[in-house]
Amino acid sequence: MTDPTASSNVPQRSNADILRLRKQLLNPTLSVSYNEPLKIVRGEGVWLYDQHGQAYLDMVNNVCHVGHCHPRVVAAGQAQMAQLNTNTRYLHDNIVEYALRLTATLPGPLSVVFLTNSGTEANDLALRLARAHTRALGVVVVDHAYHGHSPSMVELSPYKFKGKGGAGQSSHVGVVAMPDTYRGPFRETAAAGQQYGQLLPGAIESLRQCGIAPAAFYCESLLGCGGQIVLPEGYLPEAYAAVRAAGGVCVADEVQVGFGRVGEHFWAFESQGVVPDIVTIGKPIGNGHPMGAVVTTPEIAASFVSGMEYFNTFGGNPVSCAIALAVLDVIADEQLEENARRVGLFLMDGLRELQQRHDCIGDVRGRGLFVGAELVRDRESRTPDQPKAKAVVEAMKARHVLLSTEGPDDNVLKIKPPIVFSQANAEEFLDKLDQVLRGS
């Protein structure tokens, strides 16, 4: 079947031909999802469509934040692209309007914006800002974190440097245990957050023993690659206090979880009652358009003024800013933060009900529409069940629901759909997951 939306200039190839050409012509480390990859040709809302017109419920794409191909976002980009797209050396209303609108969502001290093209670029720039401000080199990160694919960010990503092909831990990087209250060293107690936070001084001291002072502490506000981990109460206040006492600054990586995804707050760090020194933003900011941002304080921004200009050819261009403004409008006008809160609670309740009936679900956790279900072989020992998690993902794909897995043992079902995800969508997912876990 020919895809009716395809350009007449692009031949429509079979899945096998595309796979063959990918292997021949593209980056050899570029992976595909699922045992039998899908060819996706169209998206709308929470749905993705293959070349045969079959619909798949997308429960893993937190990039198309307000839904695939949202008409208002598409129209904003089209209109601005037809009028002007250039760099920031010319004056334009869009960039200052976006800076005003973005900083209005953040605590007062966070008032200076740098626009980039991706979350990786945002995290990379945050490192430069932190080092310029502190005149220090060291960075403390959380185990199994991922902050981007540039050389500097791979060095700050245990998910990469401790994995296959990784070069190992660099001398300027300290690593603290994930604050995982399900399988980590400190479990479900009121003191767990403080206990995990108290690991920071040890990591800082280890850096100092190597003659390295701490510049920054990077922490995702909810841990993605770590397995959809919700930070225990009190973790960031304890950790931030230790970092600041040592002269470092605190970076909140909101690349995956910002813009209302957690439901109760616009930014996930707010659930910990802290104000970071630097916030990094990516994925949802442009609903699939390549864009990112760093927001920091005037004091840290001033430290970056050294005589060397920071210029980004594409960062903050009029088209990107028009798209990003439309995303903010849609979140507000369609009350999507509240939708994420309400549907997220329904989804979590449903998963916990399934947990009562299926022993393989060891833990259910999340905030809003950022949810994880950890699959285990044995609830008592909490032994991870990676094969089961992989089998569930494939079985759900056969039922036209798209999921993925995450975590150090790759046994956590990763659930992070566009935040237009509805209660009816959640009911369909829960019903199909129940069928899969019952083996029907």
pLDDT digits (tens, 9 = 90+) for 172-193: 999 999 999 999 999 989 999 9
In the block, tokens 């690991």 appear at 199
Q: What is the pLDDT of residue 188?
A: 87
Mean pLDDT over the full length of the chain: 96
Residue 109: pLDDT band by 50, 70, 90 thresholds?
very high
Token pair recorded at residue 22: 């990918």
Q: Dump pLDDT digits (tens) for 8-21.
A: 789 999 999 999 99
Question: Is residue 2 scored above 60 in pLDDT?
Answer: no
Strand partners, 405: 413
Neighbouring CB atoms inside 10 A of 71's CB total: 11
C-alpha 264/C-alpha 267 separation (Å) is 9
Q: Dump pLDDT digits (tens) for 331-365.
A: 999 999 999 999 999 999 999 999 999 999 999 99
CA distances from residue 343 to 64, 259, 339 in whole angstroms, order as listed: 17, 16, 6
Quick one: what percent of the chain has pLDDT higher than 90?
97
pTM of the model: 0.96
Question: Is residue 7 scored above 70 in pLDDT?
Answer: no
Which is nearest to 400 in space by CA: 54, 69, 36?
54
Token pair recorded at residue 38: 């899908």
Q: Dump pLDDT digits (tens) for 52-62.
A: 999 999 999 99
Question: Is residue 417 scored above 50 in pLDDT?
Answer: yes
Q: What is the pLDDT of residue 21?
A: 96
Question: Is residue 81 scored above 60 in pLDDT?
Answer: yes
C-alpha 248/C-alpha 138 separation (Å) is 9
Question: Is residue 6 scored above 70 in pLDDT?
Answer: no
